[in-house]
Structure formats: C-alpha cells, structure tokens
Structure 1
C-alpha cells in the first residue's frame, strides 16, 4: 500500500511575546498573514502565515508558556529550515535586520549551503540554499 501522506502542511510555534514574533516572521522573514484569530476561551492568538512557496507557520500565543528545557538536541522538533535561492544574500539580509546568523556551512551529503539563526524565542531556524 502506498502512503497517503503528501508532505507537511504547517509548523506550529508558540511565542513568548506574540507581537514581537509576529513582527519577526512577517516583517523580517517575509511571511504573509493569511488569518489572525483571537480565541477568547484560550486567551490565545493564532496567526496563520504563508511563504511564497505555500509553506505555512501557525504562530500561537498562550498565557505563560513554559520555556523549552534543553538545547539544541532536545527530543522533538530540532529546527525549521527555510528555503532560499542565495544563501549569502539571505544571511546579509537577516544581519542587516539585526538577526545574528551562524557562519555559512556546507552540507556534504546534499551538496548545499546552509546557516542557522534564531527567532525571538531562541528557536533554531535554518536557511537552506536550494539553488542548483
């Protein structure tokens, strides 16, 4: 039997400071807001974001969410990789917007360049060059 799984639809992130993270993902990373919903019963916002290729992030706020216990090899989602056409210009862009990036590295298995950075809650994000 062939698996019915087509890929992933979204990644969900809980922010400690919703407005700060909203600005980071929209103004710096360029995600488009699809919908923003306040859920009174949960005292929580849900922000649906989309990138140019259709990939999505759900950004949530919750009152007093616990911090991630360990880094970087905690069980669970290790990092979120974002596709870019030109790694150098993407890193330059982030740095000009006050985002600290690790040095660009080379993935010897895939033959691609990548660099890590962090969101406002210190979540690990990666730029991954998809240019051929």
Structure 2
C-alpha cells in the first residue's frame, strides 16, 4: 500500500471572482467544474493542473487572513515547474503580477522565484 500522487490542492480565497480570473486567465488553468453551494455561501471551482493534479478554489464568507509570508504553519507555498523561468516571469509581469528576483537552489543549482495570488498565497516557479 502506498500513496500514488497528489490529487488536488485546496485554496480558500477572499474574493472569488478576482481569484477565478487570476487562476484561469493569468495562470491559464482549465476549469473542470464550478458550483455554488448555497448552504455554505461558498463557490467551489475545480481547475486542471497538467494531466495529474487539480486545484480546488473555494470561497467562504469571513475567512481569516494568512498569518505570515511564507513561514506560517501549515502549507508553506504552492510550486509549479516551468521550462523557461525568465519567459514565464516576463509573462506574469506583463499581466501586472509582481515577481521576486530569481534565486538559486544551492542543492540542485536550479533557478526559482516566487509571486503571490490575489490573497497573498506564495506561489513558486521552479525551472526544470
């Protein structure tokens, strides 16, 4: 018995429309389904990430803010691989997204950087 792969990552946002636009228009994740759950006053948007993973984007009324960036307890950040880090950074900047300076992973000698979603969730880009 073993765990096979990550199925999804769940993210709670404070502004559903703003986050939906960010994840579908800027990061260009494909919408798999979208529902509004009246009993929870909550949207749930399922987004396809590649061929193996999903993001579940939730909205709830009155969610607490993230305590710190990115060293809060719990999920530290979300990371995606890219083939060309510089090109993706340039693309994000043309979309009005602030991107940090490139860092170098001392263990793998690979380049990476961070940016944030509309709620300040740290997202890493890691060059393959």
Which range, TM-score by smaller chain? over 0.9
Match of 1:31 in 2: 29
Match of 1:128 in 2: 126
Match of 1:20 in 2: 18
Offset of 1:110 from its aligned partner?
Answer: 1.9
Write out aligned runs for 1:95-110 (5 A): 95-110=93-108
- The two structures, once aligned, show a CA RMSD in angstroms of 1.1
Match of 1:84 in 2: 82
Provide Cα deviations, 1:62-120, integer angstroms capped at 9, x if missing partner. 01111112332111000000111110001000001000000111112122111100000
- 1:30 touches 1:51 (CA, 8 Å); kept in 2? no
Unaligned runs of 5+ in 2: none
Compare 105-114 and 29-38 and name the one that shifted more.
105-114
State yes or no: 1:9 paired with 2:26: no
Name the count of aligned residue pairs: 128
Unaligned runs of 5+ in 1: none
TM-score (norm 2): 0.95
- 1:85 touches 1:129 (CA, 8 Å); kept in 2? yes
Partners of 1:48 and 1:67 in 2: CA distance: 22
TM-score (norm 1): 0.92
Q: 2:109 aligns with which of 111, 117, 125?
A: 111
